[in-house]
Amino acid sequence: MIEMIRRFLRQRFGNPIVAVTLVVLALLIGVTIALSGTRAGTSSAFLALVILAARSVSKDASSGALQMILARPLRRTQYLYGRYAGILCAYAAFLVLCGVFAALLAVAALPALRVPAPPFDPRVLLRGLAGSLLGAVLFSAVLLFFSTFLPGYGDVLAYFLVAILLSLPEALGQALKTPWLGDAARVAHQNLLPEVDWDTVLGGQDVLGAPTGRWVLAVVVFLAAAALVFRRREFAYGQD
C-alpha cells in the first residue's frame, strides 16, 4: 500500500509538466484565497484534483504497467486503494502548498504592496482546505470507480455525464410537470453525489447530519464498487 502511494506521488510529481502546472495553480489559488477568501480559492482547487485523479487506474492498465505490478505479491485491492490513497495524499500536499502561498501573500506580500485584502484568519484557511480535502474524498472515489473499467479520460467524462444526468431530470420534471421525475433525480443526486457544507460541519455544527451520512455512504459504495469491478476485471494484453 505504502509503495503504491509512493509510486503514485512519483508518477504525478515526477512529471515536470504536471509538477509545474500544479505549482502555478497553487500560486494562483493562493492569490485568490488571499484576495477573495478561502471559499473562492478552494473551489478552483477542483481543477488540480481532476489533474491528479484522472486516469488513476486506466493509464496503468493501458500501458501494461499494471500487469507487471499485479504479478507481484499484492492484492488487487491493495493496488486500488493504494492509488486512491495516493490521490488524496497528492491533493493534500497540493492544498498545503496553496495554504502556504496564501498565508505568505496575506501576511507578507499584500501588506507590503498595500493591496487591500480581507483579514487573514489561519483557522478559516485551515477549515477551508480541510473541507476541500473532504470533498476530494468522494470525487476521487467516483473517479477511481470509473477508472477501473473505462479507458483513458473516460473516468472524468463519466463523472460529468453522471452529474449532468442526475441534474437533468429535475429540470425536465419541472418542464414536463412530472414531479416524480424531479423527485427521483433529487434523491439519486443526494445519495450518489451528496453535497456537504464542510465549512459548517468542520465548524462543529450538524456533524452527524443527513448530508454527512449520505456522503459517508456514497464514499463507501463507490470504493466497494470499484474493488468489486477491479477484482473481477481481466487484463489481457497484446497479440500472440
Name the site residues for another protein (rule: CB under 8 A): 3, 7, 10-11, 14-15, 60, 63-75, 234-240
Cβ(235)–Cβ(66) under 8 Å? yes
Cβ distance to another protein smaller for residue 11 or 43: 11
- Distance of closest approach, residue 75 Cβ to another protein, in angstroms: 7
- 3-state SS assignment for residue 215: helix
Distance CA 8, CA 5 (A): 5
Min CB(74)–another protein separation in Å: 6
Residue 231: CB minimum distance to another protein, A: 10
Q: Cell 500487469 sits at which residue?
A: 67
Q: In whole angstroms, how close is the CB of 20 to another protein at the nearest point?
A: 14
Instruction: Name the residue among 49, 62, 44, 45 with its Cα closest to residue 147.
Output: 62
Q: Toward another protein, which CB reaches closer, 13 or 120?
A: 13
Residue 71 C-alpha cell reads as: 504479478
Q: Which is nearer to another protein, 64 or 151 (CB)?
A: 64
Shortest reach from residue 39's CB to another protein, in Å? 35
Pick 62 or 174: Cβ nearer another protein: 62
Mapped onto helix, strand or coil, the DSSP state of residue 179 is helix
Nearer CB in complex with another protein: 116/238: 238
Q: Would you say 29 and 45 are in contact if contact means Cβ atoms under 8 Å apart?
A: yes
Angle, to 10 degrees, between the axis of helix 154-176 and the axis of helix 122-147? 100
Nearer residue to another protein within complex by CB, 7 or 127: 7
Q: Name the amino acid, one letter, at 68.
A: M
Q: What is the DSSP letter of 150?
A: S
Smallest distance from another protein to CB 87, Å: 16
Please count the other Cβ atoms lying within 10 Å of the Cβ belonging to residue 91: 25
